[in-house]
Structure formats: structure tokens, C-alpha cells
Chains A and B, each alone.
Chain A
Amino acid sequence: MLINNSLVYLIALPLAGAAILLLAGRRSDKWGHILATLLSAASFIVGLLQLSQMLARPTGQRAVEQKLFEWISVGTFKVDAGLMLDQLSICFVLLITGVGTLIHIYSISYMSHDHDRRRFFAYLNLFIAAMLLLVLGNSYLNLYVGWEGVGLASYLLIGFWNQKPAYATASKKAFIMNRVGDMGLSFAIMIAFASLGTFSFAGIKEAAPHASTASLTAIGIMLLVAATGKSAQFPLQAWLGDAMAGPTPVSALIHAATMVTAGVYLITRSNFIFDAAPTAQLLVIIVGAVTLLFGAVIGTAKDDIKKALAASTMSQIGYMILGAGLGPVGYAFAIMHLLTHGFFKAGMFLGAGSVMHGMDDEVNMRKYGNLRKFMPITFVTFGLGYLAILGVPPFAGFYSKDKIIETAFNAGGTRGLLIGSAALLGAGLTAFYMTRVMILTFTGAPRWDEKAHPHESPILMWLPMAILAIGSVSSGFLLSRGNALVNWLAPLFAEHAEKAAVLKPVVVTSLALLMVVIGVVIAFMKYSRGEVSSVAPEDVSALTKIVRRDLLQDDFNEAVFMRTGQGITNTLVKTDELVIDGLVRGVGSAALGSAGALRKSQTGFVRSYAAWILLGAVVLVAAIWLVTQ
């Protein structure tokens, strides 16, 4: 039992770590990373204790809510800062602190040569605290604080090596694109307050059935905009690839396992809104389906190992969003895929970091090859993650991804067929590009630079990878055994009748496996036979060129938004210079000119002053005379 059973400790521990490390400055260089790791681990332990207490309570009373303080109090308008831990939050709390702690441990070694390692750990702790606040807030306003906090931490960490201008630009790009999504969230909150009169999840859940469908649809669409920004979903997906500028542990923690899944959390948390707004729900499905294909297609042409994984993350989150869009049947599967993805994708990113560590920070997979001989542990852990993301039974992805595909088909009608096929196609593409990554990196002939000396990473790095690999193997089985996660989350979501399955699970599984096998075989045919060039071939089809340019996402944004924005800005600057500045300058020069003219009257001759006085007196007398006449 804790001193008191407060949820604050979860957030306060890592937040204190960030504060201490940032305030103590260089004095904490020697022990900062250890403190940060310990505090993150402590938060994980608090989370485990909370889970054990939650398990001890009966199903109906598992959620706990706690008021912290009165946050805003204006007249009759009152907002409390409060925390809420329920079945959904605890999943996230354990994922964030658990994977977070492993990545802290990994970073101790990965960042050991960086003289700014302490600052890195301070930001990591800040991120953990903000992310915990995001999932623990009991109202949209509290969630918003955490939402902005993770955006800040993400910005700071992507631009951690901001001495390179390209990296600094990448962090700005991520931040600005996230702002677009954040705007959606703030609009959603405002609409919710205007139409439902409250911010809290509980209050909105209660009021939602009585609200008009139009306002619920508006809230839902705005929430979706927020989710697309934070989770790098279409059409706000372009920042994720560049976000790989951050150190690899950051990519693993923030841009694979936790922060980018905040959009899935938001939609799942707002299930009561989406259930009552079918239009918004349909848009969620479309966004998810488009992104899962979009990301997978981009992944097929990436030579940068981290960017290939980033495209894969985008695609996998597309699966989660798709699952969340399917309504009460899909929420639990979205969360399950989120958790298993947290394990295998974080594991693979750490594996990529380990490869880079051994290859002098080389990220181009065409310069790799045959690394399994030199990095056996990395190969095995990465390989287990690979099997998990492919959905090979009995690895984690099999349980979560297949369920989403199955649920998609069960949506029924043309819609079910379309999104189900999209999800199946995505599975095939995933198999292709992940196999490509495996082949290029770990097999074939070595294509290294001469000065590269590949070597296995130290224990502090491979231990977290191994633990995550164990999760990649077992988490799916554990979470779906006896429908454990589905039943655990069931009290949060609306009840739903079991629909008749359109396709039998066995059929879906075999179809998915067939797609996976096709993807793997194509990848083997293409990359495993014959030499792989160490530079990307130029004589490729126009389609490949387009995919290499990320399906023109940046060109589109530049042409449509950046140029327009620049045009507007230039016009405004011109208007400012000509009209507003012109007005101000006009007043100034008028004063100056009249002063120059009037100055001449100050001759310095007493007699002229006397004459002026006389004139004034005469005028005065004349005026009085005229008035009294």
C-alpha cells in the first residue's frame, strides 16, 4: 500500500525527474540518466500496484476518479483538474511506463557518447509525464494539457540534434503539422462544451444521447482531425517520416509505441460520441483504411531503415484507427493491436538503433547486408518482431491484426468488403516491405563502407530488445486468451449484439496468411536472388519514383498549403507595410513637417514675441467684442 493511494504519483515521479534534470543542469550529468530511469521504473511499479488494486475490485467499481484541485473558477463556470484510471487508461499506463522504462535503459547505452545525454533523459521523463497525463485526464481539458505536452516533448526530442538544420526543420514540421490536429481537438472541446455543457468524459457520456446528431458529428469529425494529426494519419501524415531525425530510442518510444497511438486512444475514449455519429465513424474508417495502404505503399520504397519502419508505423496505426472506427466491436481489437504493436514496433526500432549503433549511424539499408552473423541477438529480436508484425501465428500481430481484418469484413455489405480487402492488401504489403527490410539488413552479401565494423550492441541495449521480443511473441496470445482484453474493456463500451460472421474466422486467417506468403515470396524473388545494388537504382518506373517521394505528400502540401500560405503572408506583409505602416509614418512625418514650419516662428527676437503677444491680445479683445456685441 502506498502512503496514500493517489494517482498523482504516476505523473509526479517522471515530472519530478524532468524538473530535477533540467534545473540541476550539468551538475546532474553523472547521475541524471540513472535517476530518470529509476523514476520511470518507479512510475511503472505504481502502475502495477494500481492494476493489482483494480483487479481486487469488482467489475463495476474498477474505475477510480480523483479530483486534484479546482483549476478554473469563473463565476458559475468551474473546471476541476482531475484524474481517472479505468480499464482503458491502465493499459496505456503500463504500456507507456513499461516500454518507456525499457527505452530509458536502452538509451543509457545508446546515448552514452552524447554529451547532452542528461537533457535527453529530462525530455524523455517529460514525455512520460505528459503522456500519462494525456491518458489519465478525466476530462477533455485535462487530456488537452497532456496532448500538448507530448507534442512539446516530441518536438524537443525530434530536434534533439538541432545543430543539423535538417533535423531542426523536421522538428518544426512535426510541431506545425501537429498544431493543425491540435486545432481540431480544441474545436472539438469547444463544440462539446457549447452543445453539452461539460468537459468531463463522464458528463459527456451522460449527455451525448440527448444531443443532436449534427453536433455529435461535428465533435466526432474534429476529434478525428486531432487524431490524424497526432497519429500521423492521412491527410496529416507527412511529419512522421521526417520525425525519424530524432535519436532512435525516441522513434521507438514516441513515434512508434506511445505518442502516435494517442489518436487511437482519443477515438476509443470518445466511443460514446462516435457510436452516436455514424458519419464521423465512417470518416474514421476511411481515414484508417486509406492510411494503412498509404503507409504500406510508402514502406515498400524506403531505403532508410528508420523511415521504412516509420511508414510501417503509419500503416499499423491505420489498422488501429480502422478498428476503432468499426464501433463497439472494434474498440477492443484496436487497443489490442495498439498494445502488441507497442511491443513489436518498439522492439524493431530498438533493433534498428542497434544496427545503426554497430554501423556508424548508417541508416541506408542498401549499405547493410549479412548483419545476422555480426549481430545475432539483434537479428533474433528483430526477427521475432518481424514475425509478429506479419501476423504469423502464434506471434502477437496474428491475434490482433487478424481480428481487425475479420471485424472489417463483418461490417457487412460493400463497405465491409472494401475495407476488409484494403486491410488484407495492407497485410500483404506489410509482409513485402518488412521482408525487404529483413533481407536487405540481415542477409545477402555485405555492402558496407570499408570503415564499418559491425558489432553486437552491449547488454544494456540488447536486454530491452530481448524483453520487447518476448512481448512480441507472447502478448497477443496472453491478451486474447479467453478474450481477456475484450472482456476487460467491455464495461467501457456500448453493448453490441454479436453479428453473424460474413466470413468465418478460419477463412479470414487463411486469406491473411495467403497474402503474407505472397508478400514474402515476392520480396524474396526480388531481393534475395542476385545482387542488391548499394545505391538505389535510377532506371525505375514512374510509380516507384512517386512512391520514393512519399507518394508526393510533401509536394502536395508544399503546392497547396505552403505556397498559398506564403501568398497570404506576403500579401499581409505588403498590406502591413503600405497601409498600416504608411498611416503611422504619415502621422509622424506630418508632425515633423508642421513642426519644421512652426519652428521658424521661434526667431529668438524679443520684439517678434512681443508682436505675437500683441496680436494675440488684439485677437482676444476682438473676439470678446464680437461675442458680447
Chain B
Amino acid sequence: MNAANYLYVSALLFTIGAVGVVVRRNAIVVFMCVELMLNAANLAFVTFSRINGNLDGQVVAFFTMVVAACEVVVGLAIIVTIYRSRRSASVDDASLLKR
């Protein structure tokens, strides 16, 4: 199968994730969209690794996974804390920096 198809999938996933981040209000959904973008990037890395015939892309993909895991830990903690104090997980509600 043509390797370019994987890149198209990756681009599609990234676009879905990016649009989700911009248009959705729920913090959890926004978060999942971020994960989607990261995984789209991972897919691209692995594809390039395959195309170039070396392991560099796969190694970076592992790093991305580690970073994503860390991010989930911190991000979820923040979302939970915000939800506890404001009874809402909407990202638009938490626009206090402006004031």
C-alpha cells in the first residue's frame, strides 16, 4: 500500500483534532482532541520512519507517547480541580485571566 495514504490519514486526524480544540467547549473533549493531534503526529512519524527506512521516527513517537502521558496526568488534574471549584468543565468559563 502507498505510504502516502498513511500521511493523508494523519493529516485528517490532525485536522479533526485541531478543529475540535477550537470549536468544542468541554475541557475533556478539548483534551481528547489534543490527544488526537498528538497521535496524528505519531502516525506521521512512524510513516516517515517507514519511508526513510530508519528508526528515528519510531523513537520520536515513543517520546511523544511519554510526553502525552505526562500531559494527561497534569491536564486531567487541572480539569478536575477546575470542575470542583466551578462546577463546570467549560473552557470558556475559565476566562479569568482577562479580568
Contacts and interface: CB of A to CB of B under 8 A. Distances in A.
A614 B91 contact: no
A604 B97 contact: yes
A610 B22 contact: yes
A541 interface: no
A610 B21 contact: yes
Contacts of A602: 98
Interface of B: 18, 21-23, 25, 30, 91-92, 94-99
B51 to A, nearest CB: 18
A605 interface: yes
11 contacts: A604-B95, A604-B96, A604-B97, A604-B98, A605-B95, A607-B25, A607-B92, A610-B22, A611-B22, A614-B21, A614-B22
Going nearest first, the 4 A-B pairs with the smallest beta carbon separation are: A604-B98, A604-B95, A606-B91, A611-B22
Contacts of B22: 607, 610-611, 614
A604 B99 contact: yes
Nearest to B91: A606
Instruction: Please report whether the interface of chain B is mostly helix, strand, loop or mixed according to DSSP.
Output: helix
A617 to B, nearest CB: 9
Contacts of B92: 605-607
A606 B21 CA distance: 9
A606 B25 CA distance: 10
Nearest to B96: A604
Interface in A590-610: 602-607, 610
Contacts of A611: 22
A147 to B, nearest CB: 69
Interface in A236-260: none
Contacts of A614: 18, 21-22
Contacts of B98: 602-604
A605 B24 CA distance: 12
A421 to B, nearest CB: 94
A603 B95 CA distance: 8
B96 A607 contact: no
Contacts of A610: 21-22
A610 B91 CA distance: 11
Nearest to A608: B22
A611 B20 CA distance: 11
Contacts of B95: 603-606
Nearest to A615: B22
Given A614-B18, A614-B22, A607 B97 contact: no
B18 A606 contact: no
B3 to A, nearest CB: 20
Nearest to A612: B22
Nearest to B24: A607
A610 B18 CA distance: 9
Contacts of A606: 30, 91-92, 94-95
Contacts of B25: 607
Contacts of B96: 604
Nearest to B27: A606
Contacts of B97: 604
B70 to A, nearest CB: 20
Contacts of A607: 21-23, 25, 30, 91-92
A605 B30 CA distance: 13
A495 to B, nearest CB: 95
A602 B94 CA distance: 14
Nearest to A603: B98
Contacts of B30: 606-607
A604 B99 CA distance: 8
Given A603-B95, A604-B96, 7 more contacts: A604-B99, A605-B91, A605-B92, A605-B95, A607-B21, A607-B25, A610-B21
